[in-house]
Amino acid sequence: MILVSCEQFNLLFKSTPTSHSEWLEEWLIEPTCSPPCWEQLIPGKTDIDEGLSVIKNLKDVSIRYLPTKGPYNNRKQMMWDFDNTASGGSATTDKNGDVISDISLHVNSEENLRISEIFSLYGPPEYVNIIGCFGELTRSSCDVHLVYPKIGMSLGLYLPDQGRNGHKVEITSDSNVRTINLFNPGVNNYLEALGVFDNLVIWTGYQEYLSINP
């Protein structure tokens, strides 16, 4: 017969910390620089071609698309994959097509990156921005940003639309981060770099939030 104390029993069944891919673990625990910088790429300062040289030399990263102009503007964008994961990233320039204005790191849902993990490092955001809600009739999900304008960072979430006469989402500590966006600090820089509308509402904790544009 095996005897196990209550304390040992609790330890056996205590949930272990979520394991993340190497690139994400490094960003969380030992980043090479602080947001909005990522791997020495700094929005508002780093040239896109210089950024390409940096990305090419990163371990376990593969370039998917070289810097290319969009069909309707002068902005350039490059994209990359984090090897052996379903995650990747992109860097987009300003309207002049030279300097990086936005870095987007795409986090696969299997990473289970909870916003509470980010909050433990950077604190809560200043704003919530419900970008838009999508889906036929039911409007099943909403694209939501948690915005840190002073840092130059936003966290992208996809949350169920719980509204009936308008858009409503519930944000909890377990809400998963799907994108990490880095930009030159400032609200206007956030709006311009990410090309989103100003639906900003002040963060007031884990709770339900209504879109200001029904």
Give the integer Cα–Cα distance in Å for 179 and 146: 10
Token digits of residue 69: 């102009």
* Global confidence as pTM: 0.87
Nearest to 76 by CA among 50, 40, 57, 112: 50
**Residue written as tokens 């704003």?**
127
Give the integer Cα–Cα distance in Å for 189 and 100: 12
pLDDT of 191 higher than 90: yes
**pLDDT digits 0-9 by tens, 144-190:** 999 999 999 999 999 998 877 778 899 999 999 999 999 999 999 99
pLDDT band at 211 (very low <50, low <70, confident <90, very high): confident
pLDDT band at 18 (very low <50, low <70, confident <90, very high): low
**pLDDT digits 0-9 by tens, 43-63:** 999 999 999 999 999 999 999
CB 82 within 8 A of CB 61: yes
**Helix spans in 30-165 (H):** 48-56, 115-122
Q: Identify the pLDDT of residue 214.
A: 58
